[in-house]
Structure 1
């Protein structure tokens, strides 16, 4: 493997792109476990009994973890110039730009404890403890939900700032009123407005420690009003974050769905609005591990996108595995022939299903869209795209199976039903050719 190939492979594993999904998944799970172990050990090490008994082992684990996080940071910096948005800046400036991104800064924070321990063993004990606990932030890289929550909070920062100002105003007003009302009766507990702010905070947040309470009737009345207002005030930022988080999840799901549809060769030349119309037709389907998605011999009238999980396609001479982000059954939308393979959920799957009938209705309403899809289908056949049952060359390439292309003059008949007998008769020969190609890469 050349240096460039090694760098590309390292980039695909670190950033979870390309075909090295197993390696990327193993690395991701390993780093997540290592981060959680480090956080747990950083907390347990503050217990004197545990620190005295396991001090040597804890030091070795922390040293090894620090080396792993430092190596991860260096490797991510090394492949930074392969990121598509950074390529144009060159090898030096692309790495500098990557280094100031939030993810890179968090990775650096995860590696800093090792550097402090090596160069400042005695002066940086407190800093090392804090930085080790901050490794928790690295989990945001591997948690889409956490990243969506952070993004939602960032998007609603103005609304959250406004609600915070309202809460602070109510607290200040309540503290001032309580100071004026209760100061004469409780001079020790309400010595100033600052002491009143402590009472107001515990009351508005509905904590109510009970160490400072009003004793006058007017004070109790004000206290009751502040308590009731507290429920509404606390619910205000919670509602803002909840609604923003829901919008963020919906937006992310739409973008993921849209991008999956846009990858399909049959739709790749459509406009963004047309792809969005196709994406609206998708229906969600959840299949447990071992469950049958499609039986051999059934009419192939659906296309599937794998949102999560992995499927197993059992061909006559081979078995194909497709994972998250892949699609299959594209040609089912063109020629609704009997399926030549059984499709089973290899793992628990979340699928998005596009039915041929639904797409046909959309094409009937939009003649321009229908023409584009039909032209693309004819162009693909004219270009000699190999067909394996209801699977096309692009679908097989997702799993590493290469189907060689041969020119053919046959044109597809869109939504023709079960009348394509000639294609069905030639499917067995095609499967044998593809299977032979996989066994002998030289062909």
Structure 2
């Protein structure tokens, strides 16, 4: 049982899931720094003066880094059978399937230099240098933007292939025409169409080395036309990738936002289209560390989703911390009572805010949606869901502190029955 707990904790840290966000962030940032240091060291090691002066130190650093990457790869294989898509294959097949995934292959590439150095120290110098530089690919695991770019290129591969065929066709045509026009005047530089292809590539890409240039008037005219065409041809794949990348970023942000809204109990029974409509109402808000997000006594007319950072919610007898992906203020959208807790930014935060007025306007336009939400709110009230300050039962479970309230012999009264206002806080000092 102890081993299973350790394995689960290791999986949460390596894959950035669960509640161990701080440990996961430290490991992730440490590996990023180590990857960048390795790339710099691999480049510096090719400079003769630096290699002679710091050769021993560089090799030791490379060996130490190699051990870290090998350990990382082994540990990721060890917890591979905990990945949800792979669990059903068992401990052996799940690890084999994980080992052939792109991320695992890149991790293996990062670990191979150490193995080559230990077992083939003299025969694999060039391979080791290349593999060390290929550790740059490991950054894709920790960079959502880079993963989105790779995904955009993969999704538009057919369009990119088509534009590449057009470019190659223009290059081949220009090379053939230039060979026919310039061959008699420059037999050494335009000996064949292959030599013409070299000229056409440097011209279409607007590089123009100047080692092969047309000398006849007709050749210069053809060269000018090819130069002008080059700007449009190069812009074609760039435009495809740029539009696909923007679409991928928008799609990723929408999916993240949609998933955060869909997991709120108040909205969990809604259809996908209805959740999407609510997600469109979210507004971005940035709060600096220590800034007040909501103060005690304010009208609770907003719900908050934490897209980045961490917030501190000071309840009368408890301080709750919620991190990325959490939400709070769900019941405020319907009840709009006075806030009974102060919410501040524990660190710099990016929030998504859903205002009650915007939600009510949407509900007025869609009677079916309004009925679903009000019925759910009524059912939750009748079921006796506990409301402690800013948080409902499910929201407290995000922070893992609900049990301390649930098991207590006496719970604090946050609302009076007469006027539904917060009662006086008996413990003004928040517990840290």
Match of 1:124 in 2: 124
Match of 1:186 in 2: 186
The equivalent residue for 1:215 is 215
Which has the higher mean CA deviation after the structures are superposed, 259-268 or 316-325? 316-325
Three-state SS of the structure 1 residue aligned to 2:207 is coil
**Alpha-carbon contact 1:389-1:424 (below 8 Å) kept:** no
Aligned residues: 423
Offset at residue 51 of structure 1 (A): 1.1
Shift of residue 428 of structure 1?
Answer: 4.5
Aligned to 2:261: 261
User: Partner residue of 2:421?
Assistant: 424
Regions of 4+ moved over 6 Å: none
CA distance in 2, matches of 1:211, 1:27: 51
For residues 332 and 419 of structure 1, what CA distance do their matches in structure 2 show? Answer: 17
| 1:347 CA drift (Å) | 2.3
- Residue in 2 aligned with 1:227? 227
Name the CA shift for 1:421/1:191 in 2 (closer, same or farther; >3 Å).
farther
Per the TM alignment, residue 63 of structure 1 is displaced from its structure 2 partner at its CA by: 1.1
For residues 3 and 236 of structure 2, the distance between their equivalents in structure 1, rounded to whole angstroms, comes to: 55
Tell me, yes or no, if the aligned pair for 1:388 and 1:427 is still in contact at 8 Å.
Answer: no
Which residue in 2 is equivalent to 1:64?
A: 64
* Offset at residue 198 of structure 1 (A): 1.0
| 2:28 paired residue number | 28
Contact 2:338 2:422 in 1 (8 A): no
What TM-score, normalized by structure 1, do the two folds share? 0.91
Q: What does residue 377 of structure 2 align with?
A: 377
Deviation of 1:183 (Å): 1.0
Q: Give the deviation of 1:193 after TM superposition.
A: 1.0
Shift of 1:278: 1.1
Asked if the contact 1:11/1:82 (under 8 Å) is kept, the reply is yes
- Bigger CA drift: 262-271 or 231-240? 262-271
Output the CA distance in 1 between the equivalents of 2:288 and 2:174. Answer: 56
Greater Cα offset, 317-326 or 131-140: 317-326
Distance 1:149 1:78, change over 3 A: same
| 1:415 match | none
| 2:300 aligned partner | 300
Give the CA RMSD over aligned residues. Answer: 2.1
**Partner residue in 1 for 2:340:** 340
Q: Structure 1, residues 116-143: CA drift from partner, whole Å, max 9, x if none?
A: 1111111111111111111000000000
Deviations along 1:269-294, one digit per CA (max 9) or x if unpaired, are: 22212111111111122223333222
My pick for the range that moved more, 337-346 or 249-258, is 337-346
Which runs of 5 or more structure 1 residues have no equivalent in the other structure? 407-417
**Per-residue Cα deviation, 1:22-45 (whole angstroms, up to 9, x for no partner):** 000000000000000011101100
Q: Structure 1 CA distance, aligned partners of 2:262 and 2:121?
A: 54
Q: Give unpaired runs (5+ residues) of structure 2.
A: 408-414
